[in-house]
């Protein structure tokens, strides 16, 4: 369940930044298909990947976790 929520939050934040999956993946140094799998809740990111993602989104890990918590309820 948390993977699905993470994916929804990631997609929302990425699209708010106006980035395609391809652009976002390139900026983070990951493959586009991996970003797609994260957004669909098929993969769980490591802490290192979450740090890269939050940095690219311009937020802290704490802010990312807060977004997850807000969407969990």
Write the DSSP symbol of residue 72. H
Tell me what pLDDT residue 72 has: 82
Residue pair 63/13 in contact (Cβ under 8 Å)? The answer is no
Non-local (6+) Cβ contacts of 68 within 8 A are 2, 5, 6, 9
Per-residue model confidence as pLDDT tens digits over 16-61 = 999 999 999 999 999 999 999 999 999 999 999 999 999 999 999 9
Whether this prediction's pTM lies above 0.85 is answered by yes
Tell me what pLDDT residue 47 has: 95
Per-residue model confidence as pLDDT tens digits over 3-19 = 999 999 999 999 999 99
Tokens of residue 50, six digits: 């979450």
């Amino acid at each position: 369940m948390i993977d699905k929520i993470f994916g929804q939050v990631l997609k929302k934040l990425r699209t708010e930044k106006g980035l395609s999956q391809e652009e976002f993946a390139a900026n983070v140094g990951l493959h586009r298909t991996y970003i797609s799998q994260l957004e669909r809740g098929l993969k769980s990111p490591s802490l290192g990947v979450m740090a890269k993602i939050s940095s690219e989104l311009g937020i802290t890990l704490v802010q990312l976790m807060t977004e997850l918590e807000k969407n969990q309820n």
